[in-house]
Amino acid sequence: MATMTAQDFDEIKANVQAGNKNWIKVGMSTCGIAAGAGNTYRALEDELGKQGQTVSLRTCGCLGMCHAEPLVEVCIEGLPRVVYCNVDEDCAREIVRGHVMGRKLLQDYILAMHYEEAFS
């Protein structure tokens, strides 16, 4: 394959950014998996399929909040981007039905995070 140039980097970035704007991310590092993120992921996958939703379901690493795993971040256009904590299978299905389809934020599951990023 030809060597990557600065142009290729820009192209990849543009492609990634042009991807699906509606997504759900599940933290799937050792800590999350130990807390049951595997079941959470499968429940989300199953419920999204059942309901015929085209939201992109992704995995990611660990946000560092071990006490709150499994963590699921949800981004649906028109709603604030939020992180849900302690997401079990029932909550996962509720995310699909209530948040994705019902366009409502779930009560009692949001984890607010406060940190600044050292660079953008």
Partner 1 sequence: MSEKTVLLQDTTAGSTAGTNDFFGIFKAALRESNLADNVRLVRVADMGIYNQGVVMTILPEDVTYANVGSNDIKRIIGVTLKHGNPVKDLLYQPKFHQMRLVLKNCGRLDPGSLDEYIAAGGYRALLKVVGQQSPEQVIADLTASGLRGRGGGGYSTGLKWKFTREAEGEEKYIICNADEGDPGAYMDRSVLEGNPHSVIEGMLLAGYAIGGTQGFFYIRAEYPLAIERVQKALDHARERGLLGDNILDSDFSMDIDIRLGAGAFVCGEETALIASIEGKRGTPVPRPPYPSVRGLWGMPTCINNVETLANVAPIILHGPEWFSGIGTQTSKGTKVFAVTGKVRNSGLIEVPMGTTLRDIVFEIGGGIASGKAFKAVQTGGPSGGVIPEKYLDTPVDYDNLQKLGSIMGSGGMIVMDEDDCMVDIAKFYIKFCVEESCGKCAACRIGGYQIMHILNAITEGRGALEDLDRLILISRAMKMSSLCGLGQTAANPIISTLTYFEDEYREHIVNRRCPARKCKSLLQFSIIRHQCKKCGLCERACPEKVISGDREHGYSIDTDKCIHCGVCFDVCKFGAVERV
Give residues in contact with partner 1 (CB under 8 A). 1-4, 6, 9, 12-13, 15-17, 25, 27, 29-31, 33, 58-68, 71, 73, 80, 85-86, 104-119
Are 55 and 80 within 8 A, CB to CB? no
Min separation Cβ 53 and partner 1, Å: 19
Which of 52, 116 has the CB closer to partner 1? 116
Q: Quick one: CA dihedral 15, 64, 29, 102, positive or negative? A: negative
Which of 18, 52 has the CB closer to partner 1? 18
Structure tokens at 85: 């904590």
Q: Say whether the peptide bond before residue 80 is cis (omega within 30 degrees of 0).
A: no
